[in-house]
Amino acid sequence: MTTTRPSSPKFLVEVANAPIHTHYFESTRIKIKVTNISGENVLIQRVTLQFDPDTGAAPNYEDSFPSLRLLSNKSDLIEVDVTPVPLYREETTQFKIGLMGHVESGGCLRESFSERHEEGFYIILKVPTLQLGDIFISFKQPEDQKLANILVRYAKRAGFNPCLFMRNPELGKDQWKEIEKLIRQCHSVIIVWALRTEWGEGVEKEIELCRKYGCREILLIAEGVDPPKLYDPKIAYKQFDPSDPAKDLSEAIASLRAQVVKPSF
C-alpha cells in the first residue's frame, strides 16, 4: 500500500491495491483509499489521475466523479478504471492523484478545494501477451523515420509484430523481393503519407503490393497533404499532426487493434 501526504492536506490518500501490474489495452481498477483529516465534512466531486506520458506525448488523464460525502476523520474507497493505450509509458508508470470538491457546513456546500498528491503512486505496464500478427509499416525514408519509430513502439504495445524495411544497399540482393516477402506475410499495412512522400516511388510500390496480397490498408495522411493518387475513396483514412503526432498515431494503432480483435463481417 503506497501513501502520500502533501503539506497542510485535507486528505490522506493511499492506493489500496498497490502494486498494480497490468497490460496495454487491459482494463484495471485502481482503488484509492481517501481519509478526511481536515476536521470538516467534505463532498469529493471529482478525482483525476495524471499518468506519466510516453516520450514526446502529453500526460494521460483519467477522471472519476464519485460525489462522495466524507465525514471528518472517516475513510472510504474511490475506484477508478484505467485502460492504458500506447501513449502511456512502458514499465513503471507513475501517476498523480487530484481531489476536487467542496467543504460542507450546515447541509450547504461552501468553499471549493483542489488538492494534489504527487509521489509514490505507480503501475507496472507491460506489452500484451496476446499476439495479433504481423503488420508492415510503409514510410518514406529517411524523412519519416521518426514517425515509423513511434508506430513500431505503439504497435508492439498493441500486440502486433511490426515489420519495416530499411532500404540500405545490399550487394547481390533484390531489395524489392525482400519487401514483397515481408508484405506477403502481413495481414495489414500502415501507410504513412507525409509532406515529401510523393517525391519517391517506394511507398506507392508498397501500396500496390499491399493490394496484390489483400492486406488491410491503414492510411495515415499528414494534415495539409492531399491523399495519394492511389487512394481508394472507399477506405477511411486518418489525418495526423506532423508536429505532434503521438495521439493520432496511438488512435490509429488502437483502431487497427479493434478491427483485428473484433473483425467486422
Q: What is the pLDDT of residues 96-141, one digit of tens each?
A: 999 999 999 887 898 999 999 998 899 999 998 878 999 999 998 8
Hey, where are the domains in the chain?
Answer: 2-126, 134-261
Q: What is the pLDDT of residue 210?
A: 94
236 grid coordinates: 477511411
Q: What CATH superfamily is the domain 134-261?
A: Toll/interleukin-1 receptor homology (TIR) domain (3.40.50.10140)
Q: What is the pLDDT of residues 187-230, one digit of tens each?
A: 999 999 988 888 878 889 999 999 999 999 999 999 999 888 88
200 grid coordinates: 519517391
Q: What CATH superfamily is the domain 2-126?
A: Immunoglobulins (2.60.40.10)
Residue 14 forms beta bridges with which residues?
3, 33
Distance CA 79, CA 84 (A): 16
Concatenated DSSP letters of 172-217: T--HHHHHHHHHHT-SEEEEEE-TTGGGSSHHHHHHHHHHHTTPEE
State pTM to two decimals.
0.87
Planar angle of CA 218, 126, 153, nearest 5 degrees = 35
Q: How many Cβ atoms from other residues are within 10 Å of residue 86's Cβ?
A: 27
DSSP character for 262? S
